[in-house]
Structure formats: structure tokens, C-alpha cells
Copies of this chain bind each other. A is one copy, B any other.
Amino acid sequence: MEDESTKWGSTAWTHLSSTRQQSPLIQCITNFVSMDLMANTLLSAGASPAMLHSLQEIPDFTPNIHALCINVGTLTSDWLPAMKMAADFAFKAGKPWVLDPVAAGASSFRLEACLELVKLKPCVIRGNGSEILALFMASVGSSKGVDSTHDSTDAIDAAKALAEANGCIVAVSGATDIVTDGKRVVGARNGVAMLQKITATGCSVTALIAAFVAVDPVHAFEATATALSVFGVAAEMAMDFAKGPASLRMHLIDSLHGLDQSTVLSRVNITSL
């Protein structure tokens, strides 16, 4: 019998190699800080990024994409209508879309915007523990039972509830990345701590999730977990050559571009929780 880890490695390789072969078109409506690294992450994985956010273009363009990534990092009120319109067009065209609720709890304006986006049926939501907890508290939970320490147990419960309530996959980034569809929960244990010292790595892994979901839309749970793990494996390989955050960033993109099957099979570390 094939063990769980071997199966995940094989699935991860299928997702990466499918992305390279199919070069899915991924529309990103994202923040100003991360556009460059997100586009280069998608290119290095074999996908085709399109940073296009004009209200006038979404009706023409969005129906032709393979997946959409929405990220609220530098949100202002004039960007929100395009995010909502694109999410709506993607959903109606049957294209998966992924939400990155950056700093969801930073203001009531941002939290409200994220909640409006969640109602537009994302296929996947990926955030850190605080972001997922903020969304959970505002949309699903009560103020009781989730204290301010935001430990991983809290995040798992919040993620499961959020996933179940919205019929989507929820991923929580951390030392162990958590992925759940509300019932199943897996932990992806790839990556290096120094990623947190590089801006936009979280945004970029969300874009990679969009690419993997684009090539395997009926297995969004698996595609989310493998994207987190493959990005983490690329970071692990890069760390061997890195002398600090900026060289890690460079080697990460190089590594994602060059990642081979045996490395993916041997390094991917995903297990049920």
C-alpha cells in the first residue's frame, strides 16, 4: 500500500508539471507591493500571469482566464468594485478564484470588504492565523472561545468552520501550513522561517494555489496543499544558497523554475492532522 506521504508527493508533481504544460492564465487583482514577485512566481511555475484590474476590461477578459487571485493588501475603495466584479464573473464562468485576505483585521473597512468577497464564493481562502481568525470571528463565530493568542488550535477550528460555512477550502499559513475543506485537515510542513523576512511571499504562494487549482479544479483541497508544499520545497532548496532574505528570494524563484520530480517526491511533506 502506498503511504500517504508518497501519494502527496506524486500529486504535487502532477500539479506542478500540469501547470508547466498547460500554462494556465491567472488573473491577479492584487496589491502594489506584491505584483512583481507574484507575477514572477507564476512565470517560474509555468503559469501565465495577467495583472489586470480595470472595471472596463473584466467583462471581456475574466471569462477567458483559468483562475483568479484576489488580494486586498493595499485595498482602497476604488479597487473593491473591480475585485467584486471579477470574482462574480469568475464564479459565473465556472472559474475558480482564490482570496488572500491580507491583514483582514486591520480596519473595519477591510474586514467588511473581505466579508463581501467571501460571499462571492471563493474556491480557496489563504491567510495567516490572525487573518483567518478575524474572518471567522466576523462571519461565523462569536467573540467567545477565540482569545487573542491565536494559537494553531484556534486557527484550525476557525478554518474548519469558515470552510464549512462557505463551502470552500481554507488554508492557514504558519510553521505548519493547515489546509481544510471543513472536514478533512492536512498539514504541509515545507518552507523555511526566513520567508517571513521577504515581503509578498504569502501573496505569491496564494497565486501559486490559484495556478494549481486552475489545472485541477475538481481537487481544490489537494491543489491548495500541494501549492503550499511545492512553494515551501522551492524555499528549502533556495535556503542552501541564500545569505539573507534578498538572495533567498532570488534563489526561491530560480528553484521553483527548476524543481524536478525527484526533489518534489522526496521533499513534499503533507500529512493528515
Chain A residues with CB under 8 Å of chain B are 31-33, 35-37, 39-40, 43-44, 49-57, 60-61, 73-78, 103, 106-110, 196-200, 242-247, 249-258
Instruction: Please tell me if the beta carbons of A198 and B74 are within 8 angstroms of each other in the complex.
Output: no
Q: How far is B43's CA from A36's CA once the two chains are assembled, in angstroms?
A: 17
How far, in Å, is A228 (CB) from chain B's closest CB?
Answer: 20
Instruction: Please tell me if the beta carbons of B57 and A74 are within 8 angstroms of each other in the complex.
Output: no
Instruction: Please tell me if the beta carbons of B107 and A57 are within 8 angstroms of each other in the complex.
Output: yes
A254: chain B residues at CB < 8 Å are 242-247
A44: chain B residues at CB < 8 Å are 197, 244-246
Contact of A198 among B40, B56, B199, B255 (CB under 8 A): B40
Contact of A77 among B54, B73, B258 (CB under 8 A): B54
Contact of A244 among B51, B109, B247, B255 (CB under 8 A): B255
How far, in Å, is A206 (CB) from chain B's closest CB?
Answer: 16
Q: How far is B250's CA from A252's CA once the two chains are assembled, in angstroms?
A: 13
A243: chain B residues at CB < 8 Å are 251, 254, 258
Q: How far is B250's CA from A39's CA once the two chains are assembled, in angstroms?
A: 16
How far, in Å, is A26 (CB) from chain B's closest CB?
Answer: 12
How far, in Å, is A42 (CB) from chain B's closest CB?
Answer: 9
A32: chain B residues at CB < 8 Å are 32, 35, 51
Instruction: Please tell me if the beta carbons of A60 and B245 are within 8 angstroms of each other in the complex.
Output: no
A197: chain B residues at CB < 8 Å are 43-44, 257
Nearest 5 CB-CB pairings of A with B: A244-B254, A246-B253, A56-B109, A60-B107, A39-B199
Q: Given that A31-B51, A54-B75 are contacting pairs, would A36 and B199 also be in contact in the complex, using a CB cutoff of 8 Å? A: yes
Instruction: Name which residue of chain B comes closest to A252, CB basis.
Output: B246
A249: chain B residues at CB < 8 Å are 40, 246
A33: chain B residues at CB < 8 Å are 35-36, 39, 51
Instruction: Please tell me if the beta carbons of A107 and B56 are within 8 angstroms of each other in the complex.
Output: yes
How far, in Å, is A104 (CB) from chain B's closest CB?
Answer: 12
Instruction: Please tell me if the beta carbons of A52 and B250 are within 8 angstroms of each other in the complex.
Output: no
Interface centre among A73, A75, A78, A107 (most CB of B within 10 A): A107
